[in-house]
Amino acid sequence: MDEAMDFDNYAGSVKHSLEKVFEIFTLLAIVFLFNQLVICERKVNEIKQEVVFASFLLATFAVLNMCVLTLLIIQTTQNEGIYFQNNELRSQMHRG
């Protein structure tokens, strides 16, 4: 019974984490696309070097954030999986 509850908690935690990552990625994508829209609206001769550089920095920041968040999610799910496996081994040892 406890194992089923642990697994339900684990699955719920993973689902919640993935939903949050999806929300963050969506917001980053909206910001990035809005920034690109602003740049595209300007005429080519009016775009200054700072605007292009800022756009490049924003895109780089968005990609790095996505990588870091993905690594954090992977690490969290691995840690929770190890915790669940350890609890299962402990319960088997107590039974046996």
Domain count, the chain: 1
pLDDT at 42: 62
Domain that holds residue 84: 2-95
Give dist(CA 54, CA 40) in Å, integer: 14
Residue 85's pLDDT is what? 66
Model confidence pLDDT, tens digit, residues 17-61: 777 887 888 888 888 878 777 777 665 556 666 777 788 888 888
pLDDT per position as a tens digit, 49-71: 677 778 888 888 888 888 888 88
Instruction: Report how far residue 65's alpha carbon sits from residue 88's, in angstroms, rounded to the nearest whole number.
Output: 34
CB 4 within 8 A of CB 88: no
Residue 1 has pLDDT above 60, yes or no: no
